[in-house]
Amino acid sequence: MIDQVVTVFGGSGFLGRHAVRALAKGGLGYRLRVAVRRPNAANFLLPMGHVGQIQLLRTDVRDPDDVARAVANSDAVVNLVGILNPAGGQSFKAVHADAPAIIGKAAKQAGVSTLVHISTPGISTDSESDYSRTKAEGEIALHREFPEATILRPSLVFGPEDNFFNKFANLARFLPMLPLIGGGHTKFQPVFAGDVADAIVTCIENPATRGQTYELGGPAVYTFREMLQAILKVTARRRLFLPIPFSLANIPAFFLQFLPGKLLTPDQVTFLKTDNVVAPDARTLADLGIEPDSLEAVLPTYLWRFRRKGQFENSAAERVTGMPAVR
């Protein structure tokens, strides 16, 4: 049993649950302190470890005192906190730009040896997107406080609880056509959440990764259109595509941002103007000794529930080809 404490900020989110599971499993056996805003909503994490291995701690990453308590006596810190849309008093600046600096400063003062921070590819301090710009500002602020921090920049992360493939698979159940923002030409390099979690573990265990930046992507690059086509193939549905130029997409986005779930916001439209793929000269999953899982291998394991007959969908075409018939 490794007697080390790892503090995970944002451990109850989509990527967080995969990271907590990876850190708690098998022979690793880290003691985990999961810092979240609402501990009562994160109780599902506790069975991922043995009794007492995972501790939930109420923490507001915008509060330096809260953060200092969370990292006290920790050997490593992982920052997974991020938002897609400002809500509940949380702004992009507070969460993406200010919080990393607060975490980095507290970790340095506490004598933490390893800090892993999750960001995203294609970001820039000159970006028109608030999301992209504040993410870039957060990296700079973090390195100013904790120069040895390891930065991981995953492209679009997919997995059973993701917010992209599940959302569009659900929309395809009801809508006769699916929107292609900007014509659907924006490129992504989807990466499996389990592979990102393994990258986090590797960076904690390997001191040689400190101060390095890695861009994480799956084995293939897809356009927005191609990802929607993959969803329709797995869920056995036919849908038309509606190309919407960026200039026009801001109109529906303005109204959709006020609806529950915020299907689309103007800032997301702006962010979609930039490809979200691994840079040619970047350090990647391969440099961490990780072979990424493909989108084709993983999507059917959780999108089956959006088929008309769920897991029992088994047409003649599927029995012959191994894939569901498209309708």
| Structural domain count, the chain | 1
Q: Classify residue 86: in a domain, yes or no.
A: yes
Q: Classify residue 238: in a domain, yes or no.
A: no
CATH, residue 125:
3.40.50.720
Q: Classify residue 310: in a domain, yes or no.
A: no
Structural domain including 37 reads 5-148
Give me the sign of the Cα torsion angle 260, 270, 102, 82.
positive
- Is the pTM for the entire model greater than 0.95? no
Q: Classify residue 160: in a domain, yes or no.
A: no
The residue to which tokens 């897991």 are assigned: 311
Would you give per-residue pLDDT tens digits along the chain (327 residues)? Answer: 457 999 999 999 999 999 999 999 866 779 999 999 999 999 999 999 999 999 999 999 999 999 999 999 999 999 999 988 887 778 999 999 999 999 999 999 999 999 999 999 999 999 999 999 999 999 999 999 999 999 999 999 999 999 999 999 999 999 999 999 999 999 999 999 999 999 999 999 999 999 999 999 999 999 999 999 999 999 999 999 999 999 888 776 655 665 556 667 788 888 999 999 999 999 999 999 999 999 999 999 999 999 988 766 654 444 444 454 443
Q: Classify residue 273: in a domain, yes or no.
A: no
Q: How far apart are CA 83 and CA 175, in angstroms?
A: 27
Q: Classify residue 33: in a domain, yes or no.
A: yes
Which residues 6+ apart lie within 8 Å of 195 measured at CB? 216, 218, 285, 290, 292, 293
The reported pLDDT for the residue numbered 316 is: 42
Q: Classify residue 19: in a domain, yes or no.
A: yes
The reported pLDDT for the residue numbered 1 is: 44
